[in-house]
Amino acid sequence: MASLLDKINTLISANLHAMVDKALQSNSVAVMDEYIRQAEDNLDKLEDATATVGGEVKTLRRKADEYAAQAAKLDRDIDALLQQGRDDLASAAQSKYNTTQRMAEQYQQQHERQQAEYKTLLEAKLKLEAKLTTTKQEREEMLALLDLAKSKELTVKTMKSIDDIVGSGDADIARIGESIRSRLDKASAKSEMLASRLDDQIDEVLGKTELDTQLAERKKRLGMTS
């Protein structure tokens, strides 16, 4: 599990701006395609692990509640036996109560540990999904941008060939070349802004998730849940 989370955290922390730069430099989105492939593969594994741990949390909660209920019943039975003067039976019930109570506490502790792990997995899943969505969107924008750049470069090459023949058009070629460079600079700046907003978007989502969790726990404590 630790190894999987390490991979997920590496993917989450990947520098989107750096990926965009490599794509621009190589005129290819291959680096982004590889990131998307790895992210989707690990997201599938993370979802499976999250479901497994979530199931364990429910099982441990049920076990803890069952043993707690048994312990509560034994506690009442011990008092009743003592009141009836059945000290021998009360002693046996006390021994069983001690074991049952210990099991209830152990299951409760295990439940708390698994619940914490489950929360960690859910948070990692949410972050990776957000990063993956942004990367896919950026990839589509990069494809359109690269197609435009190639088109403009072809136009420049064609006009240069004409200029070589007729000896004119240098100013037009310069303007087209500058237009290409400006478009690429704008794309790089936009990618950097998207990357800087990603962490804020993720933190906002996770902040809401944490608030929802806190309110749910408070409602449970107040007896407002079914």
What sign does the CA torsion over 118, 52, 208, 4 have? positive
The 10 Å Cβ neighbour count of residue 90 is: 19
Return the amino acid letter for 211. Answer: L
What pTM, to 2 d.p., does this model score? 0.60
Per-residue model confidence (pLDDT) at position 115: 96
CB 119 within 8 A of CB 217: no
pLDDT in tens for each of the 226 residues of the chain?
Answer: 668 888 898 899 888 888 888 887 888 888 889 999 999 999 999 999 999 999 999 999 999 999 999 999 999 999 999 999 999 999 999 999 999 999 999 999 999 999 999 999 999 999 999 999 999 998 888 888 877 777 766 666 666 655 555 544 556 656 766 777 777 777 767 766 666 666 566 556 566 677 677 777 878 888 886 6
Q: Backbone phi, then psi, for 154, in 5-degree steps?
A: -65, -40
Q: What is the CA radius of gyration of the chain?
A: 31
State residue 159's pLDDT score: 63
In order of start, what are the domains of the chain with their CATH numbers? 2-221 (1.20.1270)
b (16+ CB within 10 A) / e for 136-166: eebbeebeebbeebeebeeebeebeeeeeee
Task: Look at residue 121 and give its three-state secondary structure.
Answer: helix
Whole-angstrom distance, CA of residue 63 vs CA of residue 110: 10
